[in-house]
Structure 1
Amino acid sequence: MNKTLPACATLDALPNELLIQIASHFDRQPPSILKFTHEPSAQLTCSEERSLKSLSGVSWRWRKIVLPVLFRYSRISLDKTPQWVPIDARLVENMQGQLTKLSNHELQIYQKMRSKFKSSSMWAFDESFDDLLINLCRIREGDDFLRSVPNILWLPHLPKTFTDFGRFVAHYNMKHYIKSLVVFTDKEYELRHVSTADAPLSRAVSEIWSQIFFRLEPFRVVVAAPPTTLAGLLDTQMLSSDAWAFDMKMHYIELLQPEPSRINHPRESTCRPWDSALVHRKPWTHLGYNEGSSITAYSTYEYHLKQSPKMLYLIILRLAKEVQDCCNIVSFSFHGVFPFSTNITTIIRALHKVKTLRKVHFQLAPGNENSLLNTPKRMGRAQPHDLWMEWNESYKVIASFLGVYGFADGAEFVSSDCDVAGLAGEVDDYMDMRFKRGSGWRKTEIGKWIKDESLGKDGAPTEAGPSAEAPA
C-alpha cells in the first residue's frame, strides 16, 4: 500500500539554512588545487566528481542554493580561433582587385597600408622586408576577405562566451562568490620572433585581464598555458633558445591575494605600479609555479648547457624591483620534475632579492602519482644517475639559501619530496648541514621545518635568562 509522505517530511520543508548545510557536504576541493603540484597537463580542471552539479539539477530551489558554491572555482578557456591577419604588400595588391567587396574595416586597412607601401615601391614586395613592413590586423565581423586569407594567426583572446558568463555573474550577483579562476589554453603562441606582433599581443593580453578583473574578483588566479603563450600572458620573455630540448607542453602559475575583504592596499597606492601586467593587477602575497618535467632535455647532447624557459625568474625579479615590501609576496612554491640545478640556482638568485619571504616550498622529484621513472619511452636516453645528481645539487643550493637568507622567526620551509619513499632522509641530510652551521631550522614534521632563532649552533635550544652565577 503506497502512502504519500506529508509535506513536512520532505526536504522542501526544510529551511534554506539547513539545505545550505547539506549542500556543503558535497563540496570538494577543486582539481585545480589537487592537481596543481602534478606534472602539468590539459587535465588540470577535469574531475569526475559532479555531486554539486547533479544536486543543482534536482530543482530550481536546489539550483539557487548550490549556485554560489558551484561557481566558486571557475575556469575560462581562451578561444583557439585565429583572428589576426598579417597584412603585407602582396595581400594589399590582392585586395585592390576586390575593392567593391571589401567591408568598411577592410577598406580602411587597404588605404592605410597602400600609403605605407608607396614610399618603399617595389621593395615592399621583397620578403626580407616583411618584418619591417608587415602589420597585424584583427578580423572583425563582416571581414569576409580577411577571413578567407590562408595565413591567419593566433593571439590570446577571451572566448565570445565570456560576455555571456559576465552577464550571468552580474545577474545572479555572484561576483564575490567566485574565489578562484583558472585561465587555460593549450594553444602555443608562435609569433614571439615577429617584432611587429609585440604591440598587438600586449593590447590583447591587457584586454584579457581588464575584462576578467572588471567582471570578477577572484583571490586566486591560475594560468595554465604552453611556455610561449604563458610568457605573453605574463608580459615577459622566455629568455631561452633551448625550449625545444625540454619539450614542456604546459606551465602553471598561481597567484594568491588575501580575501577581498582583507585587502588594505588601495588602488591608488604607490606600493606597486598597478599596470596592465597580471603580476601588478592585485596585491599578490603568494607566487606558485609548476614548470613540469625537464626529463626530455637529459637525452640531448651536453644537456647541462641547455637553458629552460625563464619566465619565473623574470617575474620574481620584476616583483623585487617594482613592488614595495608592504605589497610583495610572502610565500613562494616551485614544482618541477628533475629541473637542472642551474635553473634552481637562477630562481634562488632571484628570491634573494625578495626581502619579504615567510614560506618557501619546493618539489623537484616526481610525485607518487607520477610513473615517469618507470616509463622507458619518457626516459628516453636520460640516465638516472644524471637526474639524481641534478636533484642533489639543487638541494645543496636550496639548503644554502635557507642558511643565508634573513628569514624571520617562525618562517617555514616545506619539501614535498619528503612524501616520496626514500627521499625524506636525503632532504633531512641537507637540512642537518644547516643545523650544524647554526642556521636555526627546527623540524616539526616530515617535510616541514620552522625557523627557530632560539636554536644554537649545534641545533639545541639556547639557555634563556640570566646566568646562575651572575650577581643578583
Structure 2
Amino acid sequence: MPCPLLRLPNELLHHIFTILATEPPSRAQLYLPPNLHLVRSGPQDKNLKHLALTSSQLLDLVRPILFSHACLELKDEPEFRTFLVRSNLNQYVTSLVAISPPTAAYADDPSWWRRVLRYLDPDRITLLAPPVFIGETLSAPVQGGFNWAFEIDFQILQLERDPRPPRDLSSLQNLEYCTNLLTARPWTSMAFNESSSLKAYHHYEYFLGRVPSFVGEWGFHLQPQAHSPDVEANPPVLPELTTILENFVSFSYIAVFPFFNHMELILNTISKMANLHQLTIQLAPDVNNHATELEQRGSLDPNDPWMELERWHIDQHPSIVEFCSRDLHVEAVREDLIRVLQDNMGTNWTHDESGIWRRNLSPVH
C-alpha cells in the first residue's frame, strides 16, 4: 500500500520539507574554534537526508532543498561541478562552504572562486582554510615570519550579500579579470574567525609577533606610517581596499585572546568601514571552550591573555547602530568590559543582558 504522504501534491510536500529544513552547521559553528566541525550536522539536523532515502519521488523533492547549502573540498571541484551541473542542482545553491585543508597533498588554487562562480551564484560563501590561503584568496598576503608560534590550522571567512531571487546562471559574468573574491560579488557582510592566539603566549616577547591575519594586514597597510619611506616595504594590499570596506554594512570579528597591538590593527580596518551598521566582536573562548586551562600546562602565564582582553576598546563609529559583545559570559571580566564599553560609547547607547548595544536614534527636539 502506498505511503499516504506520497498522495499529497508535490507543492504541499515541498512546503512541508522547507519547514523541516534547518540552518547549515556553518552558521551555528561560526563562533567556535575553526575546524572541520563547521560542516558536520547533528543527528537532529538529518531529517531531510533520511527522508530522501525512502523513495525516488521524495528524493527528487528533497534534493534541491538539501543542496541549497553545499560543501566543497577544493581538491574535488571538478567532480563537484560535474555533479551539480548534470543534476541541474547548481541553480538551487544559496550558500557554499569551501574547504582547503592544511594537510592537502598538493596546494589548492587560491583563484578557485573564478571557476566556481561561473556555475554557482550563492548569497553566502564560507571559506575554511589556513591563514595564508585565505590571504591569497583575497589578494592580501599574510606575513609568515611568526606564524609557526600560533599553530593555526584553520580560519573562517564568511561573505554574504542580500538574498537574490533565482537567476539564469548562464548569464553569470566571466571573472577572468576579477582581482579577488571580494570583488567577485557585491558582498555587504563579512565575518572572520581568526582562531586563537593563545599558543603564541608561550613564547618570550610574544607581543612582538604578528598574528597571521588578512584583516591585520589590512589594518597595517591602512596606517599612515605604513606608507612612510622609513618603513620596510611590504607587498601591496588591494588598491581598491577602501572601496571594498565601504561596502560592508555588517562585520563580525572572532578571535581568542588576540594581542592588544593586533586589536589596534583590527580597529583600524573597522574604522574604514564607513557604512558599517552592525559590529560583533568576540575575543574570549566560547563558554564551553577550555583552551585556557589546557594551555596552562605549559609555560603560559594565565594572566597575560586576560590582561590583553581587558585592555581592548572600540572607538566611536558614527554609522554603527548595533554593537554586540559576545564576551559577557565571562564573569571575571564582565563588569570591567561593560565599564570600558560605556566609557567609550557614551550615553547615547543602551544594552541588554545578552551584550547587544543599540544606539538611540530618536530625533532631538
TM-score under structure 1 length normalisation: 0.66
Partner of residue 305, structure 2: 387
Structure 1 CA distance, aligned partners of 2:201 and 2:247? 35
Query: What SS does the aligned partner of 1:232 have?
Result: helix
For residues 441-468 of structure 1, what are the alpha-carbon distances to aligned partners after superposition, in whole Å with 9 as ceiling and x for unaligned?
Answer: 22145210112255xxxxxxx9x54xxx
CA pair 309-57 structure 1, distance change in 2 beyond 3 A: same
Once the two structures are overlaid, the 10-residue window that deviates more, 242-251 or 169-178, is 169-178
Q: Which has the larger radius of gyration?
A: 1
2:325 partner amino acid: S
Report deviation, 1:25.
Answer: 4.1
Q: 1:450 aligns with which of 354, 358, 362?
A: 358
Residues 106-121 of structure 1 aligned to structure 2 (within 5 Å): none
Report deviation, 1:236.
Answer: 2.0
CA pair 267-66 structure 1, distance change in 2 beyond 3 A: closer
Partner of residue 179, structure 1: 94
Q: 1:306 aligns with which of 190, 206, 209?
A: 209
Q: 1:37 aligns with which of 24, 31, 44?
A: 31
Q: 2:113 aligns with which of 201, 209, 214?
A: 209
Report deviation, 1:227.
Answer: 1.6
Q: 2:157 aligns with which of 253, 272, 294?
A: 253
Report deviation, 1:327.
Answer: 6.5
CA pair 315-258 structure 1, distance change in 2 beyond 3 A: farther
2:90 partner amino acid: K
Structure 1 CA distance, aligned partners of 2:269 and 2:100? 28
- Residues 296 and 380, structure 1, Cα contact 8 Å, conserved in 2: no
Structure 1 CA distance, aligned partners of 2:127 and 2:360? 35
Q: 1:281 aligns with which of 181, 184, 187?
A: 184
CA-based RMSD = 3.0
CA pair 349-188 structure 1, distance change in 2 beyond 3 A: farther
1:286 partner amino acid: S
CA pair 237-322 structure 1, distance change in 2 beyond 3 A: closer
Confirm whether residue 415 of structure 1 aligns to residue 325 of structure 2.
yes
Residues 63-462 of structure 1 aligned to structure 2 (within 5 Å): 63-79=59-75, 159=76, 162-187=77-102, 204-206=109-111, 208-261=112-165, 275-315=178-218, 321-322=240-241, 324=243, 328-376=247-295, 380-394=298-312, 397-398=313-314, 401=315, 403=316, 405-407=317-319, 411-434=321-344, 437-438=346-347, 440-454=348-362
- Residues 188 and 228, structure 1, Cα contact 8 Å, conserved in 2: no
Structure 2 CA distance, aligned partners of 1:12 and 1:227? 48
1:217 partner amino acid: D
For residues 360-412 of structure 1, what are the alpha-carbon distances to aligned partners after superposition, in whole Å with 9 as ceiling and x for unaligned?
Answer: 11000000121112325x65221221111000112xx22xx1x2x2225xx11
Structure 1 CA distance, aligned partners of 2:306 and 2:198? 11
CA pair 32-166 structure 1, distance change in 2 beyond 3 A: same
TM-score under structure 2 length normalisation: 0.84
% same residue: 27
Structure 2 CA distance, aligned partners of 1:324 and 1:267? 23
Aligned positions, number: 342
Structure 2 CA distance, aligned partners of 1:356 and 1:230? 24
Report deviation, 1:289.
Answer: 0.6
Task: Provide structure 2 residue ranges, at least 5 long, that are not aligned to the other structure.
Answer: 223-236
Query: What SS does the aligned partner of 2:110 have?
Result: helix
Q: 2:49 aligns with which of 48, 53, 60?
A: 53
Query: What SS does the aligned partner of 1:222 have?
Result: strand
Structure 1 CA distance, aligned partners of 2:279 and 2:291? 25
CA pair 276-188 structure 1, distance change in 2 beyond 3 A: farther
- Residues 194 and 254, structure 2, Cα contact 8 Å, conserved in 1: yes
Structure 1 CA distance, aligned partners of 2:333 and 2:201? 21
Report deviation, 1:32.
Answer: 1.0
Query: What SS does the aligned partner of 1:308 have?
Result: coil
Structure 2 CA distance, aligned partners of 1:353 and 1:267? 30
